[in-house]
Structure 1
Amino acid sequence: MALTWGESYLGRVRASVGDTDTIFFVGARTVLFDDEGRLLLIQRSDNHRWAIPAGAMELGESMEQCAIRELWEETGLRATSLTPYAFYTEYTYTNQFQHTYQQVLMSFVVHSWEGELLRQTDESVDAGFFPLDALPGEKSLIIDEALTDLEEFRRTGRLVMK
């Protein structure tokens, strides 16, 4: 069962620090392609943008465990094999609630998974697999970077660091 925002580590830290200070957001993202080369996207419930599954790490989790949990919570799919390909630490982001975070994120590419895709969850209002040349609606700004960095990782075999 997914934690509520208030129960999550990040929600508790934000509540204790307040709304104005910048805090670290530590988390993971997943990029998953089906057998037809289509990209898995969710339509987020908070801002309705199409995005790759992602979220904040909880205490006691590894980055990999965070990636697996977030994918499962947002899609009903559980990664059984995944590889980290990019690590981001230089970005600061302010969300729609005017909370500012310095992001510490790892992106993973999922090689295999199990389960059945849920189109709606507590964190998503829709989900599906889409051809790269036909991505839906308003999309998250990080999709293009995540895909470009995956291409670089595949080309060089080296973790992308930003």
Structure 2
Amino acid sequence: MALTWAESYLGRVRGTVGDIDTLLFVGARGVILDDQNRLLLIQRSDNHHWAMPAGAMELGESMEECAIRETWEETGLTATSLTPFAFYSNYTFTNGYGHTYQQILMSFRIHTWEGELLRQTEESVDAGFFPLDALPGRKSFIIEETLADLAEFEKTGRLVLK
């Protein structure tokens, strides 16, 4: 069962420190490409941007477990085989609620998964697989960079560090 924002670790910390301070956001992102090389994207319920499944870690969770959980929460799919390909620690961003975070995030290539894709969840209003040259509407700014980092990892075999 998914936690509400207020129940999540990051929600509890944000509730304690308020809206002004920058917090560390530790999390994971899952990248799924199907057998037709189409990218799985969700349309987020909070800002309606199209994005890859991703989110914050909970206490006691590994980054890999976070990627699996977030993918399941946002798509209904359970990742069964995944590989880390990029580690990010240099992004600071302010979200639509005015909360500022420095992001520490691992991107995982999800090779295999189980389950049926849910087009709507508590965290997404739509989801689907899209050709890389025809991604939908308002997109998360990170999609292009993440795909470029995946291509770099696949070419070199070395984890991308940023």
Match in the other structure for 1:53:
53
User: What amino acid is the match of 2:161?
Assistant: M
Partner amino acid, structure 2, of 1:123: E
TM-score by length of 2: 0.99
Q: Which amino acid aligns with 1:111?
A: H
Residue identity opposite 1:48 in structure 2: H
The count of residues paired between Structure 1 and Structure 2 equals 162
For structure 2, the 5+ residue unaligned runs are none
Structure 1, unaligned runs of 5 or more:
none
Moved over 3 A (4+): none
Partner amino acid, structure 2, of 1:53: P
The reply to whether residue 79 of structure 1 matches residue 79 of structure 2 is yes
Question: Which residue is 2:108 aligned to?
Answer: 108
Matched residue of 1:141: which SS?
Answer: coil
- 1:24-63 matches, within 5 Å, as 24-63=24-63
Task: Map 1:10-159 to 2 at 5 A.
Answer: 10-159=10-159
3-state SS in 1 of match to 2:67: helix
Give the equivalent residue in structure 2 for 1:8: 8
Rounded Cα–Cα distance in structure 2 between residues aligned with 1:23 and 1:78: 29
Q: CA deviation at 1:35?
A: 1.0
SS in 1 for 2:133: helix
Q: State the TM-score, normalized to the length of structure 1.
A: 0.99
Q: Alignment RMSD, CA only?
A: 0.4
| Post-superposition offset of 1:146 | 0.5
Cα distance in structure 2, aligned partners of 1:22 and 1:140 = 21
Cα distance per residue 1:31-86 (max 9 Å; x no partner): 10111110000000000000000000000000000000000000000000000000
Report deviation, 1:107.
0.1
